[in-house]
């Protein structure tokens, strides 16, 4: 190598190291909130002087500021605290759920700056109609932060190809082969990057970063309403499969003698633990939705044998499905969301008993089953995390002057 080439190679390498270090710091600040310089040193393994220089880049770009730390009783000099500035980089998060549409503006660091959720009647609606409704919600909440939005994340109750936000099927919406990413770009009249993913996957991401599964690395997030979806985190990374279709645990075959599933198969897990199964066996209208579910739980708590049997049966089938998943994935944590999270306090002992009887001893001992902690908003918050990902992965693209930032978007 000629000397000049060598110098270029070293320069490129140090530039890629700088970018990776910026990413590590911003990710820590975004996920953990304000941190002292010393905490950043210990979390990233970077030197004190490297941290100082890199923090300076975020401060001059307006993404963070430093405040002098008060003495906290620890020895040594107090370390300045670095805070992300939420409204300098924001994302628009959208959600198409079974019963509702939602939009939120979320700032760097995870602060929800504004949020709206509206009920929608169940049933089949044209994708153009839904995207127009989402665009209206977005306009309602976004006005003060419009100039700081760096991306858009969308959670949808369907099977999604991540690369372009193409929804291959969404039975609850009656959608087949819908280019949702393109429709949103047109509906929102934007050229900002738009990511779309399945709501189960995004609920898992949110619970992992900000909810019940913080700092866990092998987690099954399983959420049920009409359908049952899953987000599987393996070794700290979401399991996507070849194209993003992985995690459809609702269609795990558990009962060959069971009911016909919406997917065309028979005895899928969701035909035993989904909303319709619970409502039907409790003698309620199968399409009654959340209100009817709450009625069944009230009846069960009040001692109705029919309602209690329906709830117990759901618990039994939740345990059967989980036992198989625990054997395959060896998770440290199973987080139950939506209907399954709501059922958990009623059936936790049944689930534990099924796991004792059916799961292999070693993985069974390691696993804990807990309800989700972010509630209904988990997928929406996960959509925000998805939209932040390009910034977190390579913040250097946003650190230039404003024109460069616009081009990076």
Between CA 275 and CA 404 the distance in angstroms is: 49
# residues contacting Zn ion (CB under 5 A) = 5
Choice from 265, 327, 330, 373 touching Zn ion (CB under 5 A): 265
Give yes or no for residue 273 binding Zn ion (CB under 5 A): no
Give yes or no for residue 392 binding Zn ion (CB under 5 A): no
Binding segment toward Zn ion, per CB under 5 A, in 45-53, 65-73, 120-128, 254-262: 254-262
Min dist CB 201 to Zn ion, Å, is 18
Q: Which C-beta is closer to Zn ion: that of 130 or that of 159?
A: 159
The answer to whether the CB of 322 falls within 8 A of the CB of 369 is yes
Choice from 41, 82, 150, 261 touching Zn ion (CB under 5 A): 261
Choice from 26, 149, 268, 333 touching Zn ion (CB under 5 A): 268
**How many C-beta atoms lie closer than 10 Å to residue 205's C-beta?**
28
Give yes or no for residue 251 binding Zn ion (CB under 5 A): yes
Min dist CB 228 to Zn ion, Å, is 9
Per-residue buried b or exposed e for 331-368, using 16+ beta carbons within 10 Å of the residue's own CB: bebbbbbbbbbbbbebbbebbbebbeebbeeebbeebe
Give yes or no for residue 159 binding Zn ion (CB under 5 A): no
Binding segment toward Zn ion, per CB under 5 A, in 96-104, 146-154, 170-178, 247-255: 247-255
Min dist CB 85 to Zn ion, Å, is 46
Ramachandran angles phi, psi of 145, nearest 5°: -115, 10
Min dist CB 199 to Zn ion, Å, is 17
Chain length of the chain: 409
Give yes or no for residue 105 binding Zn ion (CB under 5 A): no
Choice from 113, 263, 308, 408 touching Zn ion (CB under 5 A): 263
Between CA 45 and CA 83 the distance in angstroms is: 19
Give yes or no for residue 252 binding Zn ion (CB under 5 A): no
Min dist CB 322 to Zn ion, Å, is 17
What residues between 31 and 60 interact with Zn ion by CB under 5 A? none
- For the chain, the C-alpha Rg in angstroms (whole number) is 23
Binding segment toward Zn ion, per CB under 5 A, in 29-37, 151-159, 208-216, 246-254: 246-254
Measuring CA to CA, which residue among 226, 96, 222 is closest to residue 153? 96
Q: What are the DSSP E strand ranges found in 281-408?
A: 333-337, 368-371
Q: Which C-beta is closer to Zn ion: that of 30 or that of 251?
A: 251
The answer to whether the CB of 213 falls within 8 A of the CB of 171 is no
Min dist CB 308 to Zn ion, Å, is 27
CA 305, distance to chain mean position in Å, is 37
Give yes or no for residue 372 binding Zn ion (CB under 5 A): no
Q: Which C-beta is closer to Zn ion: that of 166 or that of 269?
A: 269
Min dist CB 173 to Zn ion, Å, is 16
The answer to whether the CB of 132 falls within 8 A of the CB of 103 is no
Min dist CB 124 to Zn ion, Å, is 18
Torsion of CA 326, 332, 337, 342, to 10 degrees: 90
Residue 43, both tokens: 């979390």
Between CA 271 and CA 254 the distance in angstroms is: 9
Binding site for Zn ion (CB under 5 A): 251, 261, 263, 265, 268
């Amino acid at each position: 190598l000629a000397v000049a080439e060598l110098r270029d190679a070293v320069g490129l390498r140090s530039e890629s190291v700088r970018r990776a270090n910026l990413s590590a710091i911003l990710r820590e600040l975004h996920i953990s909130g304000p941190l002292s310089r010393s905490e950043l040193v210990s979390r990233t393994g970077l030197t004190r002087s490297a941290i100082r220089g890199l923090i300076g880049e975020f401060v001059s770009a307006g993404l963070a500021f430093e405040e002098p730390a008060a003495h906290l009783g620890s020895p040594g000099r107090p370390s300045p605290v670095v805070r992300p500035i939420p409204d300098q980089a924001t994302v628009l998060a959208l959600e198409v759920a079974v019963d509702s549409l939602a939009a939120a503006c979320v700032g760097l660091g995870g602060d929800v700056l504004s949020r709206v959720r509206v009920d929608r009647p169940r049933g089949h609606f044209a994708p153009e109609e839904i995207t127009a409704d989402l665009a209206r919600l977005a306009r309602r909440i976004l006005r003060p932060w419009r100039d700081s939005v760096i991306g858009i994340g969308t959670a949808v109750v369907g099977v999604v190809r991540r690369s372009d936000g193409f929804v291959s099927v969404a039975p609850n919406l009656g959608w087949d082969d819908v280019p949702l990413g393109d429709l949103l770009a047109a509906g929102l009249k934007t050229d900002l990057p738009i990511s779309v993913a399945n709501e189960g996957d995004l609920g898992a991401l949110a619970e992992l970063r900000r909810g019940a599964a913080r700092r866990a690395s092998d987690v099954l997030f399983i959420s049920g309403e009409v359908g049952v979806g899953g987000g599987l985190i393996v070794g700290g990374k979401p399991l996507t499969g070849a194209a993003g279709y992985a995690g459809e645990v609702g269609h795990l075959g558990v009962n060959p003698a069971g009911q016909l599933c919406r997917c065309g198969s028979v005895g899928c897990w969701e035909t035993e633990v989904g909303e319709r199964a619970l409502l039907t066996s409790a003698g309620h209208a199968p399409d009654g939705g959340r209100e009817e579910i709450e009625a069944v739980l009230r009846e069960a708590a009040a001692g109705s044998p029919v309602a209690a049997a329906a709830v117990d049966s759901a618990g039994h089938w939740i345990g059967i499905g989980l036992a198989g998943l625990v054997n395959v994935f060896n998770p440290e944590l199973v987080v139950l969301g939506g209907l399954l999270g709501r059922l958990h306090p009623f059936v936790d002992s049944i689930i534990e008993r099924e796991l004792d009887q059916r799961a292999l001893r070693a993985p069974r001992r390691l696993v804990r089953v807990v309800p989700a902690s972010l509630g209904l908003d988990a997928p929406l918050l996960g959509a925000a995390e998805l939209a932040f990902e390009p910034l977190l992965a390579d913040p250097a693209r946003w650190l230039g002057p404003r024109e460069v930032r616009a081009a990076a978007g």
